[in-house]
Amino acid sequence: MDVTDATFESEVIERSATVPVVVDFWAEWCGPCRTLGPVLEKEIAERGGAVELAKIDVDANREVSQQFGISGIPAVKAFRDGRVVAEFVGARSPTAVSAFIDDLLAPPRADGLIDGLRADRAFPGVLAALERDDTDAALAAIVSLIGEANPDDRERLRDLAVALFERLGPEDPLVVSYRRQLAAALY
């Protein structure tokens, strides 16, 4: 579907709460954009509705392009739950585009790590916070535990924190704050 500055909020941000939406930022004059567009369309069509494609002409829709810092095209951003969860700039091969979409549709890595905590009954404070959907408290607990943890537990806690960062997205204030705290605790 083609989206505009006026329809972006409903067609992409709100829609991404239901299904992941891949946004192709393009322009008519851009040769690589004309190459990438059909590849995206084919790969997304093959997923049978599991993901949707939105196309936005950057020349005609400068507000959204500026909002998302588009400085080179083609630019592709994948949205889930109203935020960017994956992206790339430039034309990509069909294989790379397929892998990008497969990664987008894969269960979040954090889910598997949390299931592992449940199975092992490891880090009960972290798990309790996650089960309350309190990511802030879970990250605080991870940071407080990591400094004194044995090497294996340190790595497991670091992996979980990074997976939670991925789930939240790079712009989330918790990610910005806790990424620094995690680095300080690790090093």
Q: What is the pLDDT of residue 84?
A: 86
Cα gap 133→136, rounded to integer Å: 9
Residues paired with residue 26 on neighbouring β-strands, in sequence order = 57
- Whole-angstrom CA distances from 28 to 39, 46, 74, 157 are 16, 25, 11, 46
CB-facing half-sphere around the CA of 117: CA atoms within 13 A: 23
Of residues 82 and 51, the one with the higher pLDDT is: 51
pTM, 2 dp: 0.69
Lowest-pLDDT range, 29-38, 147-156, 162-171, 176-185? Answer: 162-171
What's residue 169's pLDDT?
75
**pLDDT at position 112 over 90:** no
Q: Which amino acid is at 152?
A: D
Looking at residues 100-127, what average pLDDT do you find? Answer: 87
pLDDT band with cut points at 50, 70 and 90 for residue 80: confident
**133, two tokens:** 């959907």
| Distance separating alpha carbons of residues 122 and 72, to the nearest angstrom | 45
Kindly tell me if the per-residue pLDDT of 117 is higher than 90: no
Name the pLDDT band for 144 (thresholds 50, 70, 90): very high
What's the pLDDT at 40? 95
Rounded mean pLDDT of the chain?
A: 90
Give the H/E segment covering residue 81: none
- H/E element holding 89? strand 83-89
pLDDT at 85: 83
Given pLDDT bands bounded at 50, 70 and 90, which one contains residue 125?
very high
Q: Residues with catalytic annotation?
A: 30, 33
Q: Where are the beta strands (DSSP E) in 27-74?
A: 52-57
Q: What are phi and psi of 145, to 5 degrees?
A: -85, -30
In this predicted structure, the answer to whether residue 171 has a pLDDT above a threshold of 80 is: no
Determine the pLDDT at residue 42. 94
